[in-house]
Amino acid sequence: MFEQTNRRIFYQRIIQGILGIVTLMVSLPAIVYLFFSGKITQKSNKNWTDVGEISTLKLNEPKELVFQRLHVDGWKNSMVRATAWIVKTEKEMIAFQPRCTHLGCGYHWSQKEKEFVCPCHASSFSVTGEVLKGPAPRSLDRFETRIEGKRLWLGENITSVRESRS
């Protein structure tokens, strides 16, 4: 009788142990997702890119820079060609996304007019990105900027960050 009880307890412990291991295996991915995915996403969002020297930039004379940028798409990371319009003002260094805020056409700087002009529907923007003439609904989108020595680094698209957090 005593030996049968011990055997029953022994088998119950084995079954409980196996159930515990199975429960852990099933819930581990959920635990990793809940507690660590935010940190992984934050790390990949802080994607700073060195876009080059800024000592050649002239005051209020935008220049389009071409550079390679890390593009994160799910689990796939790849380097892609990217551009940005850089403006050195007296107050700050501004980096604009190269797409018009109306329907996304590439715009250019008109040295004659001293404004950014979109060829698709004729929107125009000031040197600091404000809309001068529609149909563009808002100012040009900006990248975060950081200066290290004489080099400019670009971070996230500030407008996208604002939209995704609201």
3 state SS of 140? coil
Q: How far, in Å, CA of 134 to CA of 132, rounded? A: 7
Q: How far is the CB of 34 from ligand FES (least distance, A)?
A: 41
Q: How far is the CB of 157 from ligand FES (least distance, A)?
A: 17
Output 32 or 103, the one with its CB closest to ligand FES: 103
Q: How far is the CB of 47 from ligand FES (least distance, A)?
A: 26
Output 123 or 145, the one with its CB closest to ligand FES: 123
Which residues bind to ligand FES, rule: CB under 6 A?
100, 102-103, 105, 118, 120-121, 123, 135-136
Q: How far is the CB of 60 from ligand FES (least distance, A)?
A: 22
Q: How far is the CB of 105 from ligand FES (least distance, A)?
A: 4
Number of helices (H) and strands (E), helices first, in the chain?
A: 2, 10
Retrieve residue 158's tokens. Answer: 């500030």
Contact 135, 102 (CB under 8 A): yes
Name the CA radius of gyration of the chain, rounded.
27
Phi, psi (degrees; rounded to nearest 5) at 58: -100, 155
Percent helix, strand, coil in the chain, to 5, is: 30, 35, 30
Output 14 or 132, the one with its CB closest to ligand FES: 132
Output 88 or 96, the one with its CB closest to ligand FES: 96
Output 52 or 135, the one with its CB closest to ligand FES: 135
